[in-house]
A and B are shown apart, each in its own frame.
Chain A
Amino acid sequence: MREVEKILDQYPFVQRDNLIPILQEIQKKFGYISEEAIVMVGSYLKMPTSKIYGLATFYNQFRFSPQGQFHIKICNGTSCHVNANPLILKEVESILGIKDGEKTKDNRFSLETTTCMGVCGMGPVMAVNDRYYTQLTVTEVNKIIKNYQQSEE
């Protein structure tokens, strides 16, 4: 929570329009926005936490629980969609037994679909943490996910 204070200290004359940047920085630092952080931001900005929560849930960017060890992002842009990305998503869902936006029980994998990642010429695209995989087929996805499942780190 020291870290949240540090972030807040950067905004001495704070106004409402700083709220989104503050939340963005908190998420960048921790990977998600915790309840404690929302309470702290609320008391700093003298705003009800419900308002902050209401704002944060409006935007796609904000998450309220930590990601898994391997965070899988699947591009759900139009181009990836017409290049058969629903099959890729279904395959990942069936291997991991979780749905879009969920996390496995052992906290190892979390799954998220994103809007366009900007590689429309190379779809379907998937990212595991910072590693990207392009022009995927169902068999390839199967192999990639199984590899991560077996990896120790």
Chain B
Amino acid sequence: MDNSIREILIKNILTPTEVGLDKDTLNTLQLLRREKVYHPVITISSNTSSKIMGVDEVKKQIGNYVRERNIKVDLIEVGSLGLSSLETMVSVQLPGKTRVFFKHVNPENIILILDSIFNNFIRDEFVYGQLRDKNYEPWEQVPFLDEIAYFNYQQRLILNQCGFIDVNSIDEFIAFGGYQTFVKTINNNTPAEVCDIVEQSMLRGRGGEGYLTGKKWKIAASTAGHQKYLICNAGESDPGAFMERHLMESDPHKIVEAMAISAYAIGAHKAFIYIESDYELAIQRINQAIEQATAYGLLGHDIMGTGYTLEIIIKQGAGAYVCGEETALINSMEGNRGKPHSKPPYPAVKGLFDQPTVVNNVETLVNVPVILKKGADWYRSIGTEESKGTKVFSISGKVECAGLVEVEMGTKIRDIIFRIAGGIRNNNRFKAVHVGGPSGGCLTEEHLDTLIDFESIMMVGASLGSASLVVLDEDNCIIDTVKFFMNYLQKESCGICIPCREGTRRMYEILDNISKRPKDDDGYTTLQRFKGVMQLETLAEVLKDTSMCGLGQRAANPVLSTLKWFRDEYEEHIFERNCNAGVCQELRTFEIDVDACTGCTICARKCPTGAIFGTPKNAHFIVQDKCIGCGICYETCKFSAIISK
């Protein structure tokens, strides 16, 4: 590492002023911020999504390309802009020109892209947009990123650097103002002052409960203990949420800085970050960030001569959804089964190794440097009356453009789905959006104008929780989706309290029952099925009232919210034994179109239950009593003679 750069940067952290900087310092900073570019800069988005899409091969191709042609370029790895359906993304910046982003880059088209841009023209089919920058001349005919709907409606306070900044370089992070807030805070503010500022900002925990972060910190800070601990909960483990993973991969230093400030505020000298062990890239990036920061003297013993000591340790989770709950998380870190216990005592009073412990999730913590930098008053001006700041969502499912979005609290859900994410794929009809993962709820068309804040979302039966938005369209069955969540929850229930352990299992069975064809069709079975649904509602209410931790209490949310808003679909499944979307396989019925059937006998041979009869070269027919609705005949028929009903 170049020591002179390091000294310049550290000097800049201590006295962050642009005025009166000597020429060398200014030059170094400008180079790092890419305000001066002498040779082409190529950035590759390197994250879990793009790794799976084959970014390594693209990188190799770029390396070969510039070597063969003897072009000197800066090839850097960045995280992701958040557009996970457009990966792999590559950007190229030529000296004097703005940075241009290309989408869906693969090893084949990268050569075409580079060929064209080095010859000063841009191929429309691959380009995504260009970054607005007053220092550089823009490309013609290329849209600016801030004009594209995806970015236009977002307000990026914490994702601002994702996809732009070099993930492997602490220098670049510092040049953009990183760690300044931390160093300034530990030099000028007492821990109590920091807690005050955060409390005034009305920052609320993004984990789901929405508890005031400042208040929680004060409890931990004022409780006596040998040691105090900060735990950053980055164990997402919700199927369908990826913002914490994304933040860790795209801007690891931001999380390290946020943890450092928060640990200082509660007086902790040890901070842990709990990451799922299958988030390999995230672990690697955070680890690297911690090492770099320690080498710069920003972590470790006696930070910047202030006497404050802090160590950040990565703890790898072993995969359990319930460990998102703070007491379960602490149990898991102590080397026990990840079982929650009843509160109080709250972890802020008696947590890890029985010491006062603050558990916050990644998103909550990264808001802290922003608040300290710009002030509590400024932060309070963003958002709604009760919920301040922004909220990050991962949106996926049947939308045009899946990815990560950050919007101001108080934005309508409709805007996120139809403006930012580009609406429903293939012009299908919107059916529902599931908010908040397995413990969240489904919202319908009429709730799309709900504002995003803790209270409004709670009112309509969902929770902000993990803040994943999964969009369903007309081809999705609500029963099937709820069944999926129930199956997930009954597997993940830790089993310590009975309502959750038994309740989730029974709810899954009831749902499974109504998405299946009854074995014999008399009045009794129908009555049983109907009674099941009646019980489903009672069971869900009991679960909500009597479970010990958040997992059980919220496990009923998907059932209760869909029973409320999609009752007709439940009734259709029970009374008419029909799944309109055609997802519940056993409820499908098939018929053979006599005119189209050529009697090739393939379907009869493939049918697992022998429900298809007929003689060769004559039209076949299906015996409905034997049919299990598996659809194999439908898939194998070459003449489209089988009709699904």
> Which of A's residues lie within 8 Å of B, judged by CB?
15-21, 23-24, 54-55, 58-62, 76-79, 81-83, 114-123, 125, 132, 134, 138
Name the distance in Å between B269's Cβ and chain A's nearest Cβ.
17
Report the separation of the CA atoms of residues A19 and B48 in the bound assembly, to the nearest whole angstrom.
28
Report the separation of the CA atoms of residues A77 and B237 in the bound assembly, to the nearest whole angstrom.
10
Tell which of B9-17, B315-323, B586-594 binds the partner. Answer: B315-323
- B476 interface residue, CB < 8 Å from A? yes
A-B contact pairs, 24 of them (CB 8 A): A16-B336, A17-B333, A20-B332, A23-B318, A55-B335, A59-B319, A59-B338, A61-B277, A61-B278, A78-B470, A82-B472, A83-B397, A114-B278, A115-B237, A115-B238, A115-B319, A117-B52, A118-B245, A120-B240, A120-B396, A121-B49, A121-B84, A121-B402, A122-B87
B476 and A82 form a contact (CB under 8 A): yes
Query: What is the size category of the interface that chain B forms with chain A?
Result: 35 or more
- B390 interface residue, CB < 8 Å from A? no
Report the separation of the CA atoms of residues A134 and B488 in the bound assembly, to the nearest whole angstrom.
23
Known: A117-B48, A121-B84, A122-B53. A78 touches B635 (CB 8 A): no
Known: A55-B336, A78-B434. A83 touches B242 (CB 8 A): no
Report the separation of the CA atoms of residues A81 and B468 in the bound assembly, to the nearest whole angstrom.
14
B402 and A58 form a contact (CB under 8 A): no
Report the separation of the CA atoms of residues A23 and B332 in the bound assembly, to the nearest whole angstrom.
13
Report the separation of the CA atoms of residues A20 and B564 in the bound assembly, to the nearest whole angstrom.
42
A78 and B52 form a contact (CB under 8 A): no
- B67 interface residue, CB < 8 Å from A? no
Report the separation of the CA atoms of residues A143 and B318 in the bound assembly, to the nearest whole angstrom.
33
Report the separation of the CA atoms of residues A144 and B586 in the bound assembly, to the nearest whole angstrom.
27
A78 and B48 form a contact (CB under 8 A): no
Known: A119-B49, A121-B403, A138-B635. A15 touches B335 (CB 8 A): yes
Residues of A close to B598: CB separation below 8 A: none
B332 and A79 form a contact (CB under 8 A): no
Known: A18-B335, A76-B239, A115-B239. A81 touches B484 (CB 8 A): yes
- B351 interface residue, CB < 8 Å from A? no
Name the distance in Å between B633's Cβ and chain A's nearest Cβ.
14
Residues of B close to A119: CB separation below 8 A: 48-49, 52-53, 84
A122 and B84 form a contact (CB under 8 A): yes
Residues of A close to B87: CB separation below 8 A: 121-122
- B626 interface residue, CB < 8 Å from A? no
Which among B85, B240, B394, B472 has the highest number of chain A CB atoms within 10 Å? B240
Known: A118-B48, A119-B84, A121-B403. A79 touches B470 (CB 8 A): yes
Residues of A close to B332: CB separation below 8 A: 20
B334: nearest chain-A partner, CB-CB: A17
In the A-B complex, the 8 residue pairs with the closest CB atoms: A121-B85, A78-B240, A121-B402, A59-B318, A120-B396, A60-B319, A79-B396, A121-B84
Residues of B close to A61: CB separation below 8 A: 277-278, 318-319
Residues of B close to A120: CB separation below 8 A: 84, 240, 242, 394, 396, 402
Name the distance in Å between A37's Cβ and chain B's nearest Cβ.
15
- B241 interface residue, CB < 8 Å from A? yes
A122 and B52 form a contact (CB under 8 A): yes
A62 and B318 form a contact (CB under 8 A): yes
Residues of B close to A116: CB separation below 8 A: 238-242
A20 and B318 form a contact (CB under 8 A): yes
A78: nearest chain-B partner, CB-CB: B240
Contact with A along B381-420 (1 / 0, CB 8 A): 0000000000000101110011100000000000000000
Report the separation of the CA atoms of residues A75 and B515 in the bound assembly, to the nearest whole angstrom.
23
Report the separation of the CA atoms of residues A24 and B314 in the bound assembly, to the nearest whole angstrom.
14
Name the distance in Å between B4's Cβ and chain A's nearest Cβ.
37
Known: A77-B240, A82-B470. A134 touches B52 (CB 8 A): yes
Name the distance in Å between A126's Cβ and chain B's nearest Cβ.
11
- B437 interface residue, CB < 8 Å from A? yes
Residue of B338, B396, B476 near A121 (CB, 8 A) is B396
Name the distance in Å between A142's Cβ and chain B's nearest Cβ.
10
- B169 interface residue, CB < 8 Å from A? no
Residues of B close to A117: CB separation below 8 A: 48, 52
B319 and A78 form a contact (CB under 8 A): no
Name the distance in Å between B452's Cβ and chain A's nearest Cβ.
19
Name the distance in Å between A93's Cβ and chain B's nearest Cβ.
12
- B450 interface residue, CB < 8 Å from A? no
- B638 interface residue, CB < 8 Å from A? no
Report the separation of the CA atoms of residues A125 and B52 in the bound assembly, to the nearest whole angstrom.
9
Residues of B close to A15: CB separation below 8 A: 335
B470: nearest chain-A partner, CB-CB: A78
Residues of B close to A17: CB separation below 8 A: 333-335
A18: nearest chain-B partner, CB-CB: B335
Residues of B close to A20: CB separation below 8 A: 316, 318, 332, 335
- B337 interface residue, CB < 8 Å from A? yes
- B288 interface residue, CB < 8 Å from A? no
Report the separation of the CA atoms of residues A79 and B437 in the bound assembly, to the nearest whole angstrom.
10
Report the separation of the CA atoms of residues A19 and B241 in the bound assembly, to the nearest whole angstrom.
28
Residues of A close to B481: CB separation below 8 A: 78, 81-82
Contact with A along B72-99 (1 / 0, CB 8 A): 0000000000011111000000000000
Report the separation of the CA atoms of residues A20 and B319 in the bound assembly, to the nearest whole angstrom.
11
B397 and A79 form a contact (CB under 8 A): yes
Which among A16, A19, A118 has the highest number of chain B CB atoms within 10 Å? A118
A79 and B52 form a contact (CB under 8 A): no
Which among A114, A122, A138 has the highest number of chain B CB atoms within 10 Å? A122
B239 and A78 form a contact (CB under 8 A): yes
B85 and A122 form a contact (CB under 8 A): yes
Report the separation of the CA atoms of residues A75 and B97 in the bound assembly, to the nearest whole angstrom.
41
Report the separation of the CA atoms of residues A31 and B86 in the bound assembly, to the nearest whole angstrom.
33
Report the separation of the CA atoms of residues A40 and B237 in the bound assembly, to the nearest whole angstrom.
30
Residue of B240, B277, B394 near A24 (CB, 8 A) is B277
Residues of A close to B488: CB separation below 8 A: 115
A18-B335, A116-B239, A121-B86 known; 18 new pairs, CB 8 Å cut-off, are A23-B318, A24-B277, A61-B278, A61-B319, A77-B239, A78-B468, A82-B398, A82-B476, A115-B319, A116-B240, A117-B48, A118-B49, A119-B48, A119-B49, A120-B84, A120-B402, A121-B85, A125-B52
Residues of B close to A81: CB separation below 8 A: 239, 481, 484
Report the separation of the CA atoms of residues A60 and B332 in the bound assembly, to the nearest whole angstrom.
13
Report the separation of the CA atoms of residues A108 and B420 in the bound assembly, to the nearest whole angstrom.
45
Residues of A close to B318: CB separation below 8 A: 20, 23-24, 59-62
Residue of A18, A19, A58 near B320 (CB, 8 A) is A58
Report the separation of the CA atoms of residues A54 and B339 in the bound assembly, to the nearest whole angstrom.
12
Report the separation of the CA atoms of residues A23 and B437 in the bound assembly, to the nearest whole angstrom.
29
